[in-house]
Amino acid sequence: MPSPRRNVEGRPLGASASSSSSGGGGGGPGSPTHGGGGGGSSSSSSSSSSRFEFQSLLGSRGSGADPTCARLRLSESPVHRRGSFPLAGAGPSQAPPPPLPEEDRMDLNPSFLGIALRSLLAIDLWLSKKLGVCAGESSSWGSVRPLMKLLEISGHGIPWLLGTLYCLSRSDSWAGREVLMNLLFALLLDLLLVALLKGLVRRRRPAHNQMDMFFTLSVDKYSFPSGHATRAALVSRFILNHLVLAIPLRVLVVLWAFILGLSRVLLGRHNVTDVAFGFLMGYMQYSIVDYCWLSPHNAPLLFALWNQQ
C-alpha cells in the first residue's frame, strides 16, 4: 500500500488540510486558532504533530540506511552481545567443532613424574654446558684439550679390539685365551648394545661439541649413552675381577675409568646423564658377560677353531 504524500515539514497533506480547516474559520497562519485563540487544542495538536514528525524522520532514516550498518548497530547492542537475539541477516547457526583427540589436547595438569623429568633434563643441559670447559680451543680450559683427546683415544673401541686380538694371537695358555676370549666377547657386546640404544634414543650431542673424534660411525652422531663410559666401566670391572693387580694399579684402573667419563663432558661430547647412564650400563654388561662366560667346556668348538688358527 503506498504511503501518503507528505509536505515539506514531513506531515501528510491530508493531516495539514484537516488541521487548518479545523482551526475555526480561517486556516492561515494568521488565524486565531493558529496564533493562540484556542490554547489547549492548538498546544495538543502541535505536540502530536511534533511527535509524528520525529517518528516520520526516524522512519525515513531507517528506510534509507545501509542494511550492513543496521546489522552492525544491532551487533553492538548489549542485548545482542549477550546472545539473546540472533542477527536478522545472519546465516544458519554452525555446529560446535568436534572435540580434539586425547593426544592433541594440552595437558593442563601434568604429572609429577613429567615435571621431574623436565626439570632433570634442564639441569642436565645447564650443567653439561657449564662443565664443557674443553669443548674448543677458545674455551676456558682450551689448553688441556689435546690431553683430553689423548685420553679419549685410550677409551675408544678400536684400540681395545685390536689390542685384544693381538694378545689373543700371542697367547700360549688356555687360561689366558679364555680370559681374552671373554674380553673380546664383552667388547663386541658393548659395541652392539650401545649402537642399538643410540639408534633407538637418537639424542643429539651437545650444541657446543666439535665432531673431531678419532673414528666415528653413523650412530656416533648421537649422544645417549656414552660408549666411552660404558666401555670404561666394563673393562675396569673385568680387569679388577680377572687380573691379579697390586692395590696402586687397581686404584689407577678405577681412576682411569672415572677421568675418562669426566673427559666426555669436559670435551663437550656428552651430557652428564649420558655418562652416568653409560657407567651404569657398563657395570651391568659385565654381569651379562660373567653369566655367559665362555670356556672350553661350554664353547669347545670356538676354542678348537681358535687353536687350529
**What are the backbone dihedrals phi and psi of residue 6, each rounded to the nearest 5 degrees, phi first?**
-120, 150
DSSP letter assigned to residue 107: -
Closest-CA residue to 151 (of 85, 75, 229, 203): 229
Closest-CA residue to 256 (of 277, 272, 240): 240
Residue 135 and residue 265: Cα distance in Å, rounded?
9
Q: Which three cell numbers stand for residue 156?
A: 675408544
Alpha-carbon dihedral sign for residues 63, 64, 68, 73: negative
Instruction: Please identify which of the residues 80, 156, 208, 228 carries the catalytic annotation.
Output: 228
Q: Within 13 Å of residue 159, how many CA atoms lie on the same side as its CB?
A: 13
Q: Which three cell numbers stand for residue 265?
A: 663432558
Would residue 34 show up in a list of annotated catalytic residues for this protein? no
Residue 141 and residue 144: Cα distance in Å, rounded?
6
Would residue 156 show up in a list of annotated catalytic residues for this protein? no
**What are the backbone dihedrals phi and psi of residue 9, each rounded to the nearest 5 degrees, phi first?**
-80, -5
Residue 113 and residue 100: Cα distance in Å, rounded?
24
Instruction: Please identify which of the residues 34, 208, 270, 297 carries the catalytic annotation.
Output: 270
Q: Catalytic amino acids?
A: 228, 270
